[in-house]
Amino acid sequence: MAANANFKDTPDRPPLGTPRPVDVHVGARLRQRRTLLGMSQEKLGEAVGLTFQQIQKYERGANRIGASRLYQLSNVLDVSVSYFFEEMPGEVQKTRGDYAAPLQADDIESVQSADPMARRETLELVRAYYKIEDPKVRKRVFELTKSIANAAGAED
């Protein structure tokens, strides 16, 4: 018991319950992939034998995801395990997964939204795009979007 008290009092550790930057990033990637597939937290939880509350905790980075669970999630979400670590911002990489730079609420939000693919608007757009069944129409929508983006970029 005394050892635990000493651990909690270590000056370079943030308060208990502070998520690690790497866990926040992995959780954001989990949420991104789940949302992109149109899967609810409840459905994902059922697929891996967890409650939706546990999935929520993983997605917020409040709970760390163990290796076997990450492997299980990658299979259900049809991605490689490395997917969860891709596009990790430099400030997260610098922490080496430890508590060197504890995140505050605002920091957590910026890590989760740094990637445009994590934005709800983007995910909704991608889902709507793939609901277009006719490949020719889908390609025309794609080309239209690209040309609008290029025209907007030329105006800047």
Q: Taking a C-beta distance cutoff of 8 angstroms, is the pair 64, 22 a contact?
A: no
Q: End-to-end CA distance of the chain: give it in Å, rounded.
A: 62
Based on the fold, state whether residues 80 and 127 are members of the same structural domain. no
Q: Report how far residue 25's alpha carbon sits from residue 32's, in angstroms, rounded to the nearest whole number.
A: 10
Based on the fold, state whether residues 105 and 85 are members of the same structural domain. yes
Based on the fold, state whether residues 66 and 99 are members of the same structural domain. yes
pLDDT beyond 90 at 113: no
pLDDT beyond 60 at 102: no
Based on the fold, state whether residues 21 and 67 are members of the same structural domain. yes
pLDDT band with cut points at 50, 70 and 90 for residue 93: low
Q: Taking a C-beta distance cutoff of 8 angstroms, is the pair 32, 115 a contact?
A: yes
Based on the fold, state whether residues 86 and 129 are members of the same structural domain. no
- State the total domains in the chain: 2
Tell which wins on pLDDT, 8 or 156: 156
Based on the fold, state whether residues 151 and 74 are members of the same structural domain. no
Q: What is the CATH number of the domain that holds 109?
A: 1.10.260.40
Q: In degrees rounded to 5, what are phi and psi of residue 118?
A: -85, -10
Based on the fold, state whether residues 82 and 26 are members of the same structural domain. yes
Residue 129: what pLDDT?
86
Rounded to an integer, the average pLDDT of 57-75 is 94
Residue 118: what pLDDT?
64
Residue 2: what pLDDT?
47
- pTM for the whole thing? 0.63
Q: In degrees rounded to 5, what are phi and psi of residue 86?
A: -70, 155
Q: Which domain holds residue 143?
A: 119-156
Residue 114: what pLDDT?
58
Q: What is the CA radius of gyration of the chain?
A: 19
Considering the chain, what is the average pLDDT of its residues? 80
Based on the fold, state whether residues 94 and 136 are members of the same structural domain. no
Q: Taking a C-beta distance cutoff of 8 angstroms, is the pair 76, 67 a contact?
A: no
Angle formed by the axes of helices 52-60 and 21-36, to 10°?
130
Based on the fold, state whether residues 124 and 88 are members of the same structural domain. no
Tell which wins on pLDDT, 47 or 101: 47
Task: Identify the weakest region by mean pLDDT among 59-73, 80-94, 98-112.
Answer: 98-112
Based on the fold, state whether residues 151 and 108 are members of the same structural domain. no
